[in-house]
């Protein structure tokens, strides 16, 4: 029985040596600095945190707090002390009740299984038609690609780009990123790329709209059902499964665990 | 010499990955801070989130008018065409007896964008006037607007599917019209507005008010 643990202490005043922010540069200079340099700075930060010279001369109490990390609530920003959980437990925010982090058994295995299933279904969905429409001996077929290009043919180019992002690019990016992140954590590869990918898919998550498109397909089926002869293509079924698998793949990884394990990889590398 | 410790106000939280870092002592007005773990931009204080969100919301509200008045698509049957707005399309469905579908289209295309605009304006006004009441409920409202906003895209997708499938030359043909573009812009702009709105401000204002009241009362 997974129990919610509301055991995180509030931290109004904390005495933890925190790292400084990344270089403070004006925007244009930041852009000129490549991602490589950024990870060098990050390296300095990790070294600083583990540097015994920093801890020398500090009181025992201080080091005691250091071993506990701090966790900030994603929703409201309140700080909490990190406490390890047992499998199936969830830590929630004291102020707003949002989930801070959870401990999940077999998280990596589930992520791997779901992303590989998702990629297979994605390929199937794009290879076959979703719907077919037959009228007067002519037949039109709808695939995801055809749906995106339909606006292009009528000279709404921006809408095509928007739909390609919603239906083709974002889902693929999400699946590939999750696969890469899972492998990075498992094999402890240098995590620079995985960190960037995870950041982007978390920001861009709302722009993947497969389930909204599914609703659109259903609406279109009902609208056209009376007028013409509709054929449900094989991709319709793989598409339905893809939506379920992607929803599961998005809910399995616990962000706090993923971030901290990716960071642990950097310390090992 | 031990570190004297720093207060919670000196700690900056990365909104993307949750990593904590120390606020620099000296900040030039146009400095940008970046998270060392994930490379994301760290927002400092209030920033210009409220102004940017207002700009996006106003643009969305203006486009909401042509999105509902201009035709979204035209159906050509045997040569004669008929342009349809969102409302007239829903009305045709009611006339054909498919009122559950008409209700779905009406809610997703007209009610949801309008409610989303109003909810974001309400939240913005609350932040600007430092409202401290019901932060939990307002946070829920924010989460809900963020979640339901994307479902409005269903209308754009339906148009895409119809114009892709119904292309039978003179017999039957469907074309997209400018209304679809305006409508998609409304959805995109409100999604961007929900993203730029800094939801932590809901808590910050509520918290500041409570602290001030304690100090004075
Ligand atoms: Zn919280
Ligand atoms: Zn970060």
Q: State mean pLDDT over B74-100.
A: 87
The CATH architecture assigned to B49-216 reads Up-down Bundle (1.20)
Whose CA is closest to B199, among A196, A254, A99, A78?
A78
Tokens of A235: 């991709």
Confidence of residue A69 (pLDDT cuts 50, 70, 90): low
3-class DSSP state of B36: coil
Query: Which residues in chain A (216-245) have CB-CB distances under 8 A to chain B?
Result: 216-217, 219-220, 222-224, 226-228
Predicted pLDDT at A207:
94
CA–CA gap between residue B9 and residue B207 (Å, rounded):
13
Whose CA is closest to A259, among B14, B42, B11, B8?
B14
CA–CA gap between residue A53 and residue A269 (Å, rounded):
22
Worst-scoring range by mean pLDDT, A139-143, B5-9, B158-162, B165-169? B5-9
Tokens of A21: 């922010």
CA–CA gap between residue A91 and residue A82 (Å, rounded):
9
Tokens of B112: 């949801």
Predicted pLDDT at A135:
79
- Phi then psi dihedrals of residue A195, to 5 deg: -65, -45
- Which neighbouring-strand residues pair with B83? B74
What residues does each domain of chain B span?
8-42, 49-216
Query: Which residues in chain A (105-164) have CB-CB distances under 8 A to chain B?
Result: 131, 133, 135-136, 138, 140, 142, 146-151, 154, 156, 158-159, 162-163
Q: Which of the two residues, A67 and B139, has the higher pLDDT score?
A: B139
Test A220 with B165 for CB contact under 8 angstroms.
yes
Pick from A35, A147, A206: CB nearest B150: A206
pLDDT higher than 70, residue B207:
no
Q: List, for residues B166-193, the tens digit of each pLDDT value.
A: 888 888 889 999 999 999 999 999 999 9
Predicted pLDDT at A41:
28
Percent of chain A with pLDDT over 70: 74
**Where is mean pLDDT largest: A15-29, A120-134, A224-238, B71-85?**
A120-134
Ligand 1 midpoint to CA A96 (Å) = 4
Pick from B4, B33, B38: CB nearest A195: B38
Predicted pLDDT at A228:
75
CA–CA gap between residue A58 and residue A74 (Å, rounded):
31
CA–CA gap between residue B83 and residue B101 (Å, rounded):
19
Query: Which residues in chain B (53-92) have CB-CB distances under 8 A to chain A?
Result: none
Residue A70 burial (C-beta neighbours within 10 Å; 0-12, 13-18, 19+): buried
Kindly list the residues from chain B whose CB atom is less than 8 angstroms away from the CB atom of residue A33. Answer: none
Cβ neighbours for B77, distance < 8 A, ≥ 6 positions apart: B171, B172
Work out whether the CA dihedral A34, A40, A41, A43 comes out positive or negative: positive
Rounded alpha-carbon distances, angstroms, from residue A269 to A22, A187, A188, A264, A265: 20, 11, 7, 9, 6
Confidence of residue B10 (pLDDT cuts 50, 70, 90): low
pTM of the model: 0.82
pLDDT higher than 90, residue B159:
yes
Whose CA is closest to A190, among A266, A267, A108?
A266
Predicted pLDDT at B18:
79
Q: In this predicted complex, what is the ipTM?
A: 0.89
- Which neighbouring-strand residues pair with B162? none
Pick from B18, B35, B136: CB nearest A256: B18
């Amino acid at each position: 029985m997974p129990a919610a643990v509301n055991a995180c202490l509030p931290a109004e005043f904390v005495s933890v040596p925190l790292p400084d922010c990344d270089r403070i540069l004006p925007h244009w200079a930041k852009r000129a600095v490549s991602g490589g340099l950024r990870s060098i700075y990050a390296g300095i930060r990790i070294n600083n945190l583990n540097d015994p010279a920093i801890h020398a001369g500090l009181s025992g109490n201080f080091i005691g707090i250091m071993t506990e990390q701090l966790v900030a609530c994603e929703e409201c920003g309140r700080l909490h002390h990190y406490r390890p959980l047992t499998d199936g437990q969830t830590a929630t925010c004291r102020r707003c009740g949002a989930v801070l982090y959870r401990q999940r058994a077999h998280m990596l295995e589930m992520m791997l299984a779901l992303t590989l299933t998702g990629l297979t279904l994605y390929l199937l969905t794009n290879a076959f038609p979703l719907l077919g429409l037959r009228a007067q001996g002519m037949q039109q077929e709808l695939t995801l690609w055809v749906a995106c290009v339909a606006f292009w043919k009528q000279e709404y180019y921006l809408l095509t780009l928007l739909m390609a992002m919603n239906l083709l690019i974002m889902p693929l990016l999400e699946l590939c990123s999750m696969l890469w992140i899972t492998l990075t954590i498992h094999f402890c590869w240098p995590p620079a790329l995985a960190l960037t990918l995870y950041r982007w898919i978390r920001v861009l998550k709302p722009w993947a709209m497969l389930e909204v498109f599914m609703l659109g397909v259903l609406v279109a089926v009902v609208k056209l059902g009376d007028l013409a002869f509709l054929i449900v293509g094989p991709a319709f079924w793989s598409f339905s499964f893809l939506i379920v698998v992607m929803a599961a793949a998005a809910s399995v990884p616990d962000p706090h665990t993923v971030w901290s394990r990716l960071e642990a990889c950097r310390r090992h590398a | 010499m031990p570190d004297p410790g720093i207060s919670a106000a000196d700690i900056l939280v990365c909104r993307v990955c949750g990593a904590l870092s120390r606020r620099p002592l000296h900040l030039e007005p146009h400095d940008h801070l970046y998270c060392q773990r994930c490379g994301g931009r760290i927002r400092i204080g209030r920033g210009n989130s409220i102004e940017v969100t207002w700009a996006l919301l106003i643009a969305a509200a203006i486009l909401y008018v042509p999105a509902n008045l201009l035709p979204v698509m035209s159906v050509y049957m045997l040569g004669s065409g008929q342009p349809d707005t969102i409302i007239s399309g829903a009305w045709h469905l009611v006339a054909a007896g498919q009122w559950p579908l008409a209700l779905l289209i009406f809610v997703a295309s007209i009610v949801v964008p309008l409610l989303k605009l109003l909810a974001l304006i309400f939240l913005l006004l609350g932040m600007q006037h430092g409202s401290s009441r019901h932060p939990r409920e307002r946070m829920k409202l924010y989460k809900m607007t963020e979640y339901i906003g994307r479902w409005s895209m269903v209308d754009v997708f339906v148009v895409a599917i119809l114009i892709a499938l119904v292309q039978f030359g003179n017999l039957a043909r469907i074309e997209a019209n400018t209304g679809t573009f305006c409508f998609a812009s409304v959805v995109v702009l409100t999604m961007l507005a929900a993203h730029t709105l800094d939801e932590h401000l809901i808590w910050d204002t509520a918290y500041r008010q409570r602290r001030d009241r304690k100090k004075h009362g």
